Structure 1
């Protein structure tokens, strides 16, 4: 069963690039959320393995608060993908126990590498032939 990803991003073009790259790599993107409320609604409706998370979201939503709630309520970890990664932001985001941080503009390959690195550690060991 393919891994499921939630893209939390308010910039439509960036979200579209992430969705295309993730789906081309074989992941299932359960949706794109531009706000905290939309991300929570998708988390309630789907089983999600990982979220890509922007720090600043639409309608005054905060990606750090969103990532903390996704982690605490649904055990969904996040990879922050943001253009506003300062030391202070990274310290605040630590409360979400993130997988990592990627600074925008980010190449899809870097996002895919981070996602694969995390998800490969979560897979159970394969049973090899007798």
Structure 2
């Protein structure tokens, strides 16, 4: 199998990354094409100690750095300030790279470090910086669906720490539906098994039938969602959870979802 054939499965994802990085599909594709041409001509090679996908992204960034490309925000590219592309372009360049490699492309900090020529610790600092910028911009109102008071209090504290407002804490499907009848949330954090035997899955279905809102499931029963019988959730956190995992999921869910109204000062 030839080099380009081996890399073909990874190219759609690298095009996605390049577009997010530059803010334009045409500009991103130009760098992807330059990377492939350099590999085909033997001007660049995939580092043998890296997995093919990590190596491909590493070559992409080598080409990028070699051209002196800049990632500073541009005001003339027609991007709306409230969408994900517009928000991305306002994040500091190096932090933007680390955030996209991990949040969008699914690389772990060690792999992102191999791509960018940095340590895993440096990548984690960059991600934290990006997350801070995102959290400050995307403050919203959060509905928590959780029947265990201690866990609900922990989640509420995390939400407030990130600068969001807790709209309500519901322990049953009925309470959740009543809560969104009073006010529209910008984010829902939901358990699956609720106090009266009702289902957080059904509560979320009720909510999504009325509003387009990002949802993060936090549950001790992830197998009830990962069945393949319905569209599986983008954000699924297993109990017991790490606070940083929940914080990161909140930031990513809000970042990649259409903009929600900000919390009033």
Give ranges in structure 1 of 5+ residues lacking alignment: 125-130
- Name the structure 2 match of 1:72: 209
Compared with structure 1, are the counterparts of its residues 28 and 94 closer, same or farther at alpha carbon in structure 2 (3 Å cutoff)? farther
Provide the residue aligned with 1:111 in structure 2.
Answer: 246
Q: What SS does the corresponding residue of 1:76 show, helix, strand or coil?
A: coil
Question: Does structure 2 conserve the Cα–Cα contact (< 8 Å) formed by 1:35 and 1:57?
Answer: yes
Measure the CA separation in 1 of the matches of 2:151 and 2:253.
21
Corresponding residue for residue 13 of structure 1? 150
Greater strand share, structure number:
1
Instruction: Report the TM-score when normalising by structure 2.
Output: 0.43
Please give the residue correspondences for 1:38-53 in structure 2 after superposition, counting only pairs within 5 Å. Answer: 38-53=175-190
What is aligned with 1:91? Answer: 227
Q: By how many angstroms is 1:22 displaced? A: 0.7
Question: In 2 relative to 1, CA 73–116 (structure 1 residues): closer, same or farther, beyond 3 Å?
Answer: same
- Structure number with bigger Rg: 2
Residue 140 of structure 2 corresponds to 3
Give the Cα separation in 2 of the matches to 1:115 and 1:36: 22
**How many equivalent pairs are there?**
122
Counterpart-to-counterpart distance in 2, 1:18 and 1:6: 11
Aligned equivalents of 1:62 and 1:109: distance in 2?
Answer: 26
CA deviation vs aligned residue, 1:31-79 (integer Å, no higher than 9, x gap): 1000011111111111211111101001111011111111112223321
Q: Label 1:120 to 1:53 Cα distance change in 2 as closer, same or farther (>3 A).
A: same
User: Normalization by structure 1: what TM-score?
Assistant: 0.84
For 2:210 and 2:229, the matched residues in 1 are separated by 16
SS in 1 for 2:206: helix
Could you tell me how far apart the structure 2 residues matched to 1:77 and 1:63 are?
Answer: 14
